[in-house]
Amino acid sequence: MTIDLANQIITGLLTGLVYSLMALGLSVIFGVVRVVNFAHGEMTALAMYAAWGLATYLDLDPLLGLPLIAALLFCLGYGLQRGLIDSFISKPEHMQFILLVSMAIIMVNGSLLGFGPDAHGVQVSYGFDTYEIGPLLVDKVRLLAAAASLAVSLLMMLFFQKTMTGKAIRACADNLVGARVIGLDVKRLYAVTFGIGSACVGAAGALLSMLIDVMPPTGPELTLLAFIIVIVGGLGSMGGALLGGMLIGVSEVLAGYFLMPSMKGMFSFAILILVLILRPQGLLGARK
C-alpha cells in the first residue's frame, strides 16, 4: 500500500517535470513578451505529433528527435511572433487572447484533419523497462524523460544567465523603455523569446509523446494544464514553473489514487481557483 503510493508519487514527480518544461515555455513567453500563449498546449500537441511521425516513419527515438523538434518549434514560435503576434503586443488583452485562441483552434482542427481523431503514441523498445531502487519501481522512459526535461530546463536557465542574447532578453523584461534606449532590437528579442518558449514546448512534446498518447483534444487539455502549473508556480517565474509542474504531477496521481482517476482534473482546477483568488502571483511569483 505505502510502496504503491510511493511509486505513484514518484511517477507524478517525474511526469510533473515534463509538464514543468512545457509550462516553463509559457512562463518565459509571458515573463518577457507579456503575451499569454493560449495556444500553448496545441503547440505541444503538434510537437507530439512530430515525435510520433519521426518515430513511426523514420524510426527515430523521441529522445534523439528532441533537438530537431525543438528546432522546428523554435522556428514556428519565432515566425508566429514576428509575423502575427508582434502587432498585437500593445493591443488590449482580449484581442491578444482572441488571436491566440484562433491559432489554437486552427492547430487543433488542423491536426484533426491531418491525423484524424485517433490516439497516437510512441512505443520505444525500452517502454516497459523499469529500474528497481530498493522496494521502488521506476519506469525507465519516465526517468529518462524527466532527466531530459531537467537538462533542457537547466540549459535554458543557463542561456538566460550567461549568453548576451539571454541577458538582453532579460533586460527587455525588466525595463522595456531602457532596453529600447540602449538600442536593443526588441522585436527580434521578443521573437527569439517566443521561439525559445516554443522550443521548450517542442522538447516537452517530444518527451510527452513517450508517456501519453496524443489526439486533437490533447492540445486544449495541455493548455489548461500549463496554465494551472504556471499560475500555481507564479506566471513569469522559471522556478515557479518547475515547482508547479511537480506539484500538479503529484497532486494528480494523489487525486487519482485516493479519489477517482477521472476526477484528478477537478482537483487541479480547484487548486487553480484557490491560487487565483488567494495568491494570484503564484507560490514563487513576486507580489507587484
Residues 187-226 that bind other proteins (CB under 8 A): 216, 220, 224
277 binds other proteins (CB under 8 A): yes
Least CB distance to other proteins at residue 88 (A): 8
Q: Which stretch binds other proteins (CB under 8 A): 17-25, 68-76, 149-157, 272-280?
A: 272-280
Q: Which residues of 208-236 are buried (b: 16+ CB within 10 A; e: fewer)?
A: bbbbbebbbebbbebbbbbbbbbbbbbbb
Query: Cβ closer to other proteins: 42 or 139?
Result: 42
Query: Cβ closer to other proteins: 103 or 191?
Result: 103
Backbone angles phi, psi at 59, to 5 degrees: 55, 35
Query: Cβ closer to other proteins: 117 or 135?
Result: 117
Q: Which stretch binds other proteins (CB under 8 A): 65-73, 100-108, 165-173, 202-210?
A: 100-108
Total number of residues that touch other proteins (CB under 8 A) = 42
Q: Which of 9, 36, 147, 168 binds other proteins (CB under 8 A)?
A: 36
Q: Report the distance separating Cα 255 and Cα 129, nearest Å.
A: 26
Query: With contact defined as beta carbons under 8 Å apart, do 37 and 100 qualify?
Result: yes
278 binds other proteins (CB under 8 A): yes
Q: Report the distance separating Cα 150 and Cα 159, nearest Å.
A: 14
Cell of 222: 495541455
266 binds other proteins (CB under 8 A): yes
Q: Report the distance separating Cα 109 and Cα 39, nearest Å.
A: 12
**For the range 86-90, what are the long-range contacts, defined as Cβ-Cβ under 8 Å and sequence gap of 24 or more?**
86/187, 86/190, 86/191, 88/35, 89/33, 89/34, 89/35, 89/190
Query: Cβ closer to other proteins: 117 or 183?
Result: 117
Q: Which of 150, 272, 283, 284 binds other proteins (CB under 8 A)?
A: 272
Query: With contact defined as beta carbons under 8 Å apart, do 243 and 37 qualify?
Result: no
Where does this chain bind other proteins (CB under 8 A)? 36, 84, 87, 91, 93-95, 97-99, 101-106, 108-110, 112-113, 116-117, 216, 220, 224, 227-228, 231, 260, 262-263, 265-266, 269-270, 272-273, 276-278, 280
